[in-house]
Amino acid sequence: RFLQVLSLIVPARLQRVTHGALHRLFHTRSCVFVVLHVALQAAVYGEYTWEVCAYCWELQFPLLLLLLPHALLAANVGCFLLCSRADPGIITKSNHAALVKVYAYDGVLFQKGVVCPTCDTEKPARSKHCSFCSGCVHRFDHHCVWVNNCIGAFNAGYFFLYLLTLTAMAAAVAGVTAAFLIHVVLLSGMMHGSYLDEQGHERAVEILFLVQHLFLTFPRIVFMLGFVILLTLVLGGYCCFLLYLALTNQTSNEWYKSRRSGCSHQPPAQPQQRLVYRNIYSKGVWMNLKEIFTPPTALERKKK
């Protein structure tokens, strides 16, 4: 729809250029979001280090508390590099025979004998073709633009740790920044003061007035605090969702497909029969969580 509107207001030559740029951005692997991700982290940590750490150092905050966000940043960068550079489980001719034996077909979400039209090979259970990476991915979860890579069987553990450290980073920056602002308020005794409103009446300091005063005094710090608090809530919610998927041995792709069309599948031979989806891959909480970090092999399945 966007391209249809674009065709009405943009010349043909510019349309071709714009369409090509959008195709490269949204249909192929691109470093644009990686650069944006790094730029956001640099902006937050630059403000945190330059102002918050400097003020907190003057107020004699514990050094370990101030360095905690930087330690989490180092761990997050490591997880980011591992997740983005690792092979998520691209299915090739050399590993296809082994990977097709790892998971059984459930007959609902994954049918035996289905051939990927692009790769021209039978799709193993729990796999999906990714147009970004131009290949089928073993135990496909989703394609993450922030790490510029698919999330599959062999880097799902790295992605989980990456997201966990990213959430902890945001929470740590928010916690230290909030502690600094609270410390400033307590030292100033502002909560016990008063101010004159527009009518000249004396009023006790309220939360709204306090926030406005802090924003005028430390605008960048307060804006950063609001951003990292929102980021912590969003990432925390996503972390909980990923943890739920890990504990139940599901992928994002399977969770979405199982809830589409009433969680059922109607074979052509039996149009009246509804097969309700049942997760056959769950092995218990501990084993499900272990599978995220140590993906099973065809040999392990034969032993069972």
Torsions phi, psi for 125 (to 5 deg): -60, 140
Angstrom CA distances, 154 to 133, 157, 238, 253, stand at 15, 7, 20, 16
Token reading at 16: 């071709």
- Asked if residues 150 and 144 have their Cβ atoms less than 8 Å apart, the reply is yes
Q: Report the greatest alpha carbon distance in the chain.
A: 82
Query: Helices marked H in the chain — which ranges?
Result: 2-9, 12-27, 32-47, 53-58, 63-85, 96-99, 156-188, 207-217, 219-248, 252-259, 285-293, 298-303
144 has catalytic annotation: yes
Select which of 136, 144, 239, 263 is catalytic.
Answer: 144
Whether 204 contacts 194, CB under 8 Å: yes
- How far is 302 from 304, CA to CA, in rounded Å? 5
**In angstroms, rounded to a whole number, what is the distance separating the alpha carbons of residues 180 and 197?**
27
Active site residues per annotation: 144
